[in-house]
Each structure stands twice: as C-alpha cells, then as structure tokens.
Chains A and B, each alone.
Chain A
C-alpha cells in the first residue's frame, strides 16, 4: 500500500510525509500525473493559498487527472485540501473542484478573536467515522487557518469546532474525508488519526 501526497508547490507536504513514514507507511510525492497510478490512497496537504495551489496544479497538468482519482481512491484533504473540494472561496474568488456548492468564507471580521485561528482547539465529534477510531470526543487538534466552512450537509459533517463561531472541522463522503485541522502537527492524536487513515477501507 502506497500513499500519494499531492505537491502543489507551496505546502508542508514534508511534515505529512515524515508523520506517515514514522508510522511505517510507503509514500510518494505526486508532482506529475503519471505518478497518480502508482498510489492506493491520496492526501492533499494544506498550506498556502487556494489560488496559487489551483494554478500550480493546472500548470503541471495534474488538475484534471486528480479529479478522476479523487473520486476513486481513499482521499484525505487537510485544511486547504478540504477547501479545494468546494466550488468557491472568498479567498480571491478562487474555484476549487466544485464537488460541493457551499462557500468557504473568512472568519467574520466583527468577532473578538485572533485570525488566523492558530493553535490547539477541540474537535467535537458529531458522528462516528473510521478515521476517529480510538480518538476521544473533544480531543484538541492543531489548527491554523483564516477561512472556514460554516454550513454543510449534516449527514456529511463529522465534527465541529468553535473559534468565535462554530464551524465544520471535518467532512466525510464515501471515499473522501477532509479536515480543517492538521493531523501532521497534532502530536499523538494526529498520529492516531493518520494510522486510522492508513487502515481505512471505505
């Protein structure tokens, strides 16, 4: 079993790679379309801006091929990797893959909070999922983001988190799971989450 990590030019993909290798996984950095065939699962890392990620994927001709593999392979999107699944973001009016129509918006400016939302916050698990196996409700994971998913289909929303307002911190839909938090930076809880992903058979 091999896990592919999408390289879109500006991300902390090496942190994810190190975490997975620490757990004994085989990994492959995906920086061209032909490599997609070699992997069984996919991770879309999260850092950088949506606009530059999308244009980089198009430049290396990965954008359309990835769309096909996204629908077939167990997929984990992290932070930006959650946001790419949606049709649009307030972040520069960028278009993602558009699997879901809800909008990715900024934290409302009038809240008495710091943005980016940076640090360890509680993940309130709303429904069981294989990826939350042996992870307690209210466990703190590491977040760092300025954009968020406010509303989503309840059946596909697996956790929420509160920072000034409540937002959706993970979604799941058949072979797709995506988190606003960063498992690769969430210490023991994050490693457990990745281990669940490695074992996952959707």
Chain B
C-alpha cells in the first residue's frame, strides 16, 4: 500500500492550441487546450502537464491566459513549463493556477535558478524537465525544445539538479518521442536507481504494455504521454486498468 503510479497526459501548446510532433518535429494541431484538459480530467488523469513548446525558443513566457483557463476547469495538479527563466515567471504561473513549474533550458543556462526557486517556492513546486538524446553509449541533454545539444550527460545533469533541490524529474527520450515504440526504459531505470525524488518517464508510449513496462522496467513513478491520448487510441481508464491488472497501484 503506497502512493499510486500517476498517469499524466501532456498538452504541448503552441499559440494557444494543443499540438503534437514526432521526434520534436512535424508539428500538427491536436485540439483546444481547455477542452482537452477537461476531457482528460473526466477520464481520470492524475495530473496534467502543460508545455508551451515555443516559449523558450522564441524567448517569451507561457501563455498565461491559457494556463488560467485550464486551471479554472480542472482541479488536479497542473504542471506548466515553457520559457521559465526567472523567479518572477514562476510566481506568475502559480498565480494563474499552476501547481508546479517545469524548468528546462533556463536550468542549463543557470543551475542556481533551480536552487533559488526551490528555496522560495518549495522543492515540490519545481520540476526539472530533461530532454535526452542518445549518442552511441551515452545520452546528452538538449535545450530549447530539443534544438541545442549541451555538454551535459543526462545522468550527471540529473544528479546536479537533484542536489540543487528539484522536486521531480521529467525525463523525455527525444529518440522515442512520438514514435510509439515504447519508453527508453534502459535510460530511465539507470537514472531512477540513484534518484531520491520522483521520476516521470516520457517519450515513446504507444500502447498499454508500454505504460506497464515504463513502471516495471523503467522504474518510473509516473508515466507521461501525449500522442496516444490525443488521438484517442487508448483512454486513461484503460491504461489504469492495465496497470492494476499487473498489481501496480493506481487511482481508479
């Protein structure tokens, strides 16, 4: 008996619409954010993740009005990311109804942002999103929505932000993103075994078995997916029933 594994649909947002790409490219429209959020809430989503995918690249803040509209309709935890580069950005997102903010590019540019944010708002509020891509035997962190490679190896970077006071890690495999061939469980489990904070696995979910493997093999505390939920290929309830049938604790 313990805390339930979380199923987190992700809404990638561009210009006020939900969008979805493959390997971070070929972006297509996938619906209205508020309608999509309401549907997931009704289906039993445990949290919602809301990423303004252009915010960092175009150097602007996440669309605050969209955040507010979603937060007024759903009463489950809402993580918002995209263009978070200073403490004031976090404060504004919290005011608009975010419960946690996810920091990606700006954490690389200034790792002390994670520490300062955790001190001011509490660790539980600070999610560090890590976009990771394989290169031979190693995996490297990318920023700016997957556009720029950094010198950080994924595992080393995650230890740094854990030390800074991050409350949670959202690890996305860029190699698997949108491919529906399953999470990169080898990468995730290698990170999870040394991590004291919760880990969300992301990138590649295509069926219920992938979700199960993300927990049993990937050792993640939560699974995040976008494509399969947007395209109504499987529902959140089906995923939860699948996990429950393997003895994994879920909120039904």
Q: Do A and B come from one complex?
A: yes
Which A residues form the contact surface with B (CB < 8 A)?
Answer: 10, 12, 14-15, 18-19, 22, 47-49, 52, 113-122, 140, 142-146, 162-164, 184-187, 190-191
Q: Contacts A118-B124, A120-B251 known; A185 to B198 CB distance under 8 Å?
A: no
Which of A116, A164, A186, A191 has the most chain B CB within a 10 Å cutoff? A116
> What 0/1 readout, one digit per residue, does chain B (1-29) give for beta carbons within 8 Å of chain A?
11111100000000000000000000000
Contact B75 A146 (CB under 8 A): no
Is B94 interfacial (CB 8 A cutoff)? yes
Contact A116 B41 (CB under 8 A): no
Q: Name the residue of chain B whose CB is nearest to the CB of A184.
A: B75
Which residue of the partner chain, among B1, B3, B196, contacts A120 with CB atoms under 8 Å?
B3
Is B143 interfacial (CB 8 A cutoff)? no
Within 8 A of A (CB), among B90-105: 94-97, 99
12 A-B pairs in the complex with CB atoms less than 8 angstroms apart: A12-B99, A47-B121, A47-B122, A48-B120, A48-B122, A119-B3, A119-B198, A120-B6, A144-B167, A185-B75, A187-B41, A191-B75
Which B residues form the contact surface with A (CB < 8 A)?
Answer: 1-6, 41, 46, 71-72, 75-77, 94-97, 99, 119-125, 167-168, 195-198, 221-222, 251
Q: In the assembled complex, how far is the CB of residue A74 from the closest CB belonging to chain B, in whole angstroms?
A: 21
Chain B residues with Cβ below 8 Å from A140 are 4, 251
Which residue of the partner chain, among B97, B122, B195, contacts A15 with CB atoms under 8 Å?
B97
Q: In the assembled complex, how far is the CB of residue B65 from the closest CB belonging to chain A, in whole angstroms?
A: 14
Chain B residues with Cβ below 8 Å from A10 are 120-122
C-alpha spacing A38/B4, complex, angstroms: 40
In order of increasing CB-CB distance, the 5 nearest A-B pairs are A119-B3, A120-B251, A144-B124, A140-B251, A121-B3
Chain B residues with Cβ below 8 Å from A145 are 124
Q: Contacts A10-B120, A47-B121 known; A119 to B96 CB distance under 8 Å?
A: no
Contact A114 B198 (CB under 8 A): yes
Chain B residues with Cβ below 8 Å from A190 are 75
Q: Contacts A115-B197, A145-B124 known; A187 to B75 CB distance under 8 Å?
A: yes
Chain B residues with Cβ below 8 Å from A163 are 2-3
C-alpha spacing A172/B198, complex, angstroms: 30
C-alpha spacing A163/B46, complex, angstroms: 18
Q: Contacts A118-B124, A185-B75 known; A162 to B2 CB distance under 8 Å?
A: yes
Q: Name the residue of chain A whose CB is nearest to the CB of B119.
A: A49
C-alpha spacing A120/B5, complex, angstroms: 8
Q: In the assembled complex, how far is the CB of residue B170 from the closest CB belonging to chain A, in whole angstroms?
A: 12
Q: In the assembled complex, how far is the CB of residue B223 from the closest CB belonging to chain A, in whole angstroms?
A: 12
Q: Contacts A115-B197, A119-B222 known; A162 to B77 CB distance under 8 Å?
A: no
C-alpha spacing A28/B70, complex, angstroms: 22
Contact A115 B4 (CB under 8 A): no
C-alpha spacing A191/B195, complex, angstroms: 34
Contact B46 A119 (CB under 8 A): yes
Chain A residues with Cβ below 8 Å from B46 are 119-120
Q: In the assembled complex, how far is the CB of residue B145 from the closest CB belonging to chain A, in whole angstroms?
A: 26
Q: Contacts A14-B94, A114-B198, A191-B75 known; A49 to B122 CB distance under 8 Å?
A: yes
Contact B97 A116 (CB under 8 A): no
C-alpha spacing A119/B122, complex, angstroms: 16
Which of A15, A22, A186 has the most chain B CB within a 10 Å cutoff? A15
Chain B residues with Cβ below 8 Å from A49 are 119, 122
Contact A18 B123 (CB under 8 A): no
Which of A15, A118, A121 has the most chain B CB within a 10 Å cutoff? A118
C-alpha spacing A121/B251, complex, angstroms: 8
Contact B122 A117 (CB under 8 A): no
Q: Name the residue of chain A whose CB is nearest to the CB of B4.
A: A120
Q: In the assembled complex, how far is the CB of residue A12 from the closest CB belonging to chain B, in whole angstroms?
A: 6
Chain A residues with Cβ below 8 Å from B120 are 10, 48, 52
Q: In the assembled complex, how far is the CB of residue B198 from the closest CB belonging to chain A, in whole angstroms?
A: 5
Q: Name the residue of chain B whose CB is nearest to the CB of A19.
A: B75
C-alpha spacing A52/B124, complex, angstroms: 15
Chain B residues with Cβ below 8 Å from A19 are 75
Contact A121 B2 (CB under 8 A): yes
Chain B residues with Cβ below 8 Å from A119 are 3-6, 46, 198, 221-222
Q: Name the residue of chain A whose CB is nearest to the CB of B192.
A: A114
